[in-house]
Structure 1
Amino acid sequence: MEKSDTYNAIAESYADFTVRHYGQAIVVFDGYADGDMISLISTAMTITGCTVIVSPGDADVDIVKAAVERPRHSTTKLIGEDTDLLILLLHYSNKYHKTI
């Protein structure tokens, strides 16, 4: 990214990075983020085939629920920085899920 990039170019860069590294991922944003930029990034990600969820507040539960729903069908990677995600993942997952 360059200093002169437009907001749309930055949003497309986020979307391209996500698809390149994680495929057509499910991306969850929390409600504490900047709404306008998240809206641009969400649109760019949706265009590339990603599923986008914008939580109204703290997204931890929505992130984990999205992660445990998918393993019924395929292997899932949950990427996050909050240790609460691990605790919630243990709570919501079960032995019938594929690899998380």
Structure 2
Amino acid sequence: HSDGNEGNCSERVLVTSSSNIKYIAVPTSDDPILSWMEVRKGVFPNVTNDLASVTNISVGDPITLFIFYKDNSNLYDLDVIDCWAYDDENFPLSKQKLHLNGNSAN
């Protein structure tokens, strides 16, 4: 689903480096929970294992976002309920957005 913002593009998307990935520590009664995201080229389960292969992705290339968390205390679970991609880092000013939950081909 693309909210009508589809089109033919010859632009390229640059996924810079893991330095742009935000790590969030969540305080708990035991150990902190760590979470992070990885981008892989391809559609799960057929994705690349090499993170370097996603440094230059063309618009329209299939990608899979993996969201991980580590909870040594086993007190928490993770559920992604609303995930969006925006065409600008400053997403309130973004002109286009794409809903990523589930199968975005629908």
Which one has a larger percent helix, Structure 1 or Structure 2?
Answer: 1
Does the pair score TM above 0.5? no
Query: TM-score range, shorter-chain basis?
Result: under 0.3
Question: What TM-score do the two structures reach when normalised by structure 1?
Answer: 0.25
Question: What TM-score do the two structures reach when normalised by structure 2?
Answer: 0.25
Higher relative contact order by CA 8 Å / sep ≥ 6: 1 or 2?
2
Q: Which has the larger radius of gyration?
A: 2
